[in-house]
Structure formats: C-alpha cells, structure tokens
Amino acid sequence: MLDTTSVSPRALLARRKPGFSLEQAFYTSQEIFDLDLEAIFFRTWIYVGVEPDVPDEGDVMVVDIGRASVLILRDDDGEIRAFHNVCRHRGARIVHDEKSSVGKLVCKYHAWTYDLDGKLLRAEHMGADFDTSCHGLKPVHLKSVEGLLFICLADEAPADIDDLAEKMGPYLKPHAIRDTKVAHQVDLIELGNWKITMENNRECYHCAGNHPELTIPLFEYGFGFSPESMDETKAKEAHRYECMVDDLHGEWEGSGFPSKEIDHLDDRVTGFRTQRLPIDRAGESQTLDTKVASTKLLGELTEAKMGGLSFWTQPNSWHHFMSDHIVTFSVIPLSPDRTLLRTKWLVHKDAVEGVDYDLKRLTEVWIATNDQDGTLVGYQHSGVKSPAYEPGPYSPYTEGLVEKFVNWYCLRLADHLG
C-alpha cells in the first residue's frame, strides 16, 4: 500500500502517474480538501446559477461555498451584483433564505442597512468618527456569460473568462438563457469527494450499465469506445454515427447554430469544452420519449431538432441546452466526503406548467440519472478510502475527459503551491 497520509500535497503532485486516478489523499484528506477550497474554489471562476434566479430588481439568491456565503442580487438598475453575505459590524450573516426579495439589505442583529450596491447606508450609535464609506459589503467578482452566472472569490479574478465568454457567446445566444425561468431545482448531496463527482460527469463509460433513462436520448457512440474490441457490425455503426455528427454539425452551423467541439479543458485557468451532440430517436430533447418537454421553444428557435449543446466548465459545472429546455448543474464541495450537486431546469419564461410543459416529463431523466450517479459516487468514495486502494488506469478511449479534469486540477494546485 502506498502511504499517502504523511506525504505533502506537493510531493503527491510530483509523483502523480498520468493516465491514472489520483492517490487516496486527494479524495479523503481534510488537508487537501481545505487546499481545494483555497486553491480552486476561492481562486477560479465558479458557476453558481443563472440570471433568471434573480429575475427582478431586489431579488437575492444566497450561494454558500465552503465557509463563504455570497449574495447574488439584482440591483435597482437591473444590474446583477455579488457580495459577501457578512455584516461589517460584528460579522453576522445578513440573508438567510436561498431566495428572497428585498428593498435594502438589513442585518437583523443591529439593523445596519446596506444599499443593493453594497454601500452602508445606516448604522446607529457608532459615533461621529465612524466612516460608513469604509464599511460597505465586500464585493465578489461576477460574470454573466449569456445569463450563466460565474463568481470568483479571489482578489483578482482570472482574465480568461472573457475569452470563454467570447467563444461561447454564439453557441449559447440562440438558447436565450436570460428569457428563461427556473422551472425546477433539486439539491442532491452525494456521499463522495467533489472530484469524484466531477470525474463521474466526465465520462459515459458507466452509462450503459447504470443509466437506462439517459441512454434513451444519448447515442452510445457519443462518448468514446475501444475500436479494438468492436466487431464489424459495431464498427460500422460507430462510423455511421460519426458521419451523422459531421452532417448535423454542417447543417446546424449552416443555419447559424455553432456546434463544433471547442476544447480548452486543461490548457487554461478557466477551462471549458463545448459541443452540440445529436439526440437519438425523435431527436428533440433529453426526455424519455426524446420529444420536447416544453412546447414553447427557447428564444427565437422554431426547430425542435437542435440536438443538445453541451457545455462543461472546470472545476464545477456542466449544462445541456436543447431547443425547449436547459438543464444546468453546479457542484459545491461540502466536506472531503460530501458534495452538493445543484440541478436547475429552465424553460421559456412564458411557458406555463401544465399547459406548455409537464414538470415530471421535463425532469425525470436527470432526476433518475443524478440519483444513479450519486450512488456510484458513494461506491467509489467508500472504496477509495480503503488502505488497499491504489490509483487505477483510465481507459484511453472513454475516460479522456476525466484525465483532462485531473490534469487541470493538478495544474491549478501546483500553480497555487508555487
């Protein structure tokens, strides 16, 4: 057994074996969990929600990341801003519900009152020498990428989010995120390290055996395969699939819908990847019958068969954009062995439940898939913590994006440790 408990994170990074899962301490140690928050979640851009989470002036959403609590709010001028949810007097948390609407931000403890731009407006009994201008709420960097909200808790945020926004803009714009509403949200706590949750998301090697619902809309060949182990029939099918993707990409791009893969998963701080993928059978949406779940298509779209635009970001999100709805996922570490997976389903803001869409049809594929993945994450975590665990090999054909996630993670950690 390799001893990982007494080895420094720096030494563990140095002896990392590419193509293999990480050593145990990366998944189980409290020290590395704290380092992950410090080096990753408090430094890089973290996906936390969408503009429709705070649709109106005065709407506030609270997002907790580790010990930090952040207010995402829409100011009176319609601008979305982010602040630390900490009063500048004695440090009380100011807002407690996940979603609320306010006129001003008033700390319940001693009624210190802040404007929606963070300025301290009022603090009683503080005396003549007290300068309110030095006691505004501490701001948090916020970037909206076509309505997807990213925050960064560092003093200086990585600048390459602008390039991500520029590249992703044309892909995302047709799905008109700002004109959607959150139809449903589910918070699932998975019993594993957040990196195990991310690795699970970055491959579909496990799909055939575990996701009977998700494999209805998704093509088997869309996520890699080993050519060596295929018989002739399968090889032909795989080839046909690749031709179809090429054809559809040409068709979609011709109609003004960018679809081709962009992959910057491990070559920059704000790593991401996108690709529009065909949907099987009726070809419309990630539903059990592969037809749209909402009859009111998003934005200006008129064609239901748009495939599914997938968008993955490091370290903590993935998203699927269809013609009729969007499913968006955010991962937040809670402890070395507990991770929050927050899933939101978005439909056109004017779509009416029971008329334009049925909530069960809209959500059932991913509710089932998340539950299955949560179980698998728990299985992996409970085995990884064994003294008998040693890093195992990733499949060169089906786990390439897992490897890229791990690459990115190790680069960030190494960069932080200097």
Catalog residues that contact a second copy under the rule CB under 8 A.
21, 42, 66-69, 84-94, 96, 108-111, 124-128, 130, 135, 138, 153, 199, 205-206, 209-210, 224-226, 228-229, 376, 379-380, 382-398
Q: Given the DSSP bridges, would you call strands 46-50 and 141-145 parallel, antiparallel or unpaired?
A: unpaired
Distance of CA 88 to the CA centre of its chain: 30
CB proximity list for 386: less than 8 A, separation 6 or greater = none
Nearer Cβ to a second copy (17/138): 138
> Is the CB of 85 or the CB of 274 nearer to a second copy?
85
Residue whose CB is less far from a second copy, 89 or 167 = 89
Is the CB of 203 or the CB of 324 nearer to a second copy? 203
* Smallest separation, CB 15 to a second copy (Å): 17
Q: Find the shortest distance in angstroms from Cβ 332 to a second copy.
A: 15
Residue with structure tokens 């090999």? 393
Closest contact distance (angstroms) between CB of 388 and a second copy is 4
Query: In this structure, how many other beta carbons lie within 10 angstroms of the beta carbon of residue 191?
Result: 16
How far lies 33's CA from each of 14, 148, 192, 250, 261, in Å?
Answer: 18, 26, 12, 44, 32
Question: C-beta of 374: minimal distance to a second copy in Å?
Answer: 13
State both tokens at 328. Answer: 């968006």
Shortest distance, CB of residue 128 to a second copy, whole angstroms? 5
Least spacing, CB of residue 224 vs a second copy, in Å:
7
- φ/ψ of 154, rounded to 5, equals -75, 160
Question: Is the Cβ of residue 69 or residue 310 nearer to a second copy in the bound state?
Answer: 69
d(CA 402, CA 409): 11
Residue whose CB is less far from a second copy, 19 or 158: 19
Strand residues in 153-305 grouped as ranges (E):
180-190, 262-264, 272-277
Which residue reads 């960018």 in tokens? 258
- Which residues lie below 8 Å from residue 408, measured CB to CB, with a gap of 6+? 265, 266, 271, 314, 315
Q: Which is nearer to a second copy, 225 or 257 (CB)?
A: 225
Closer of 3 and 267 to a second copy (Cβ): 3
Minimum gap (Å) between residue 256 Cβ and a second copy? 36
Q: Measured from the CB of residue 391, what is the shortest distance to a second copy in angstroms?
A: 8
Instruction: Name the minimum Å distance from CB 252 to a second copy.
Output: 29
Rounded distance, CA 385 to CA 382, Å?
A: 6
In whole angstroms, give the CA distance from residue 351 to residue 415: 46
Report the residue number, 133 or 229, with the smaller CB distance to a second copy: 229
What residues contact 291, with CB distance under 8 A and at least 6 apart? 282, 284, 285, 304
Give the list of residues 6+ apart from residue 247 with CB closer than 8 angstroms, or none: none
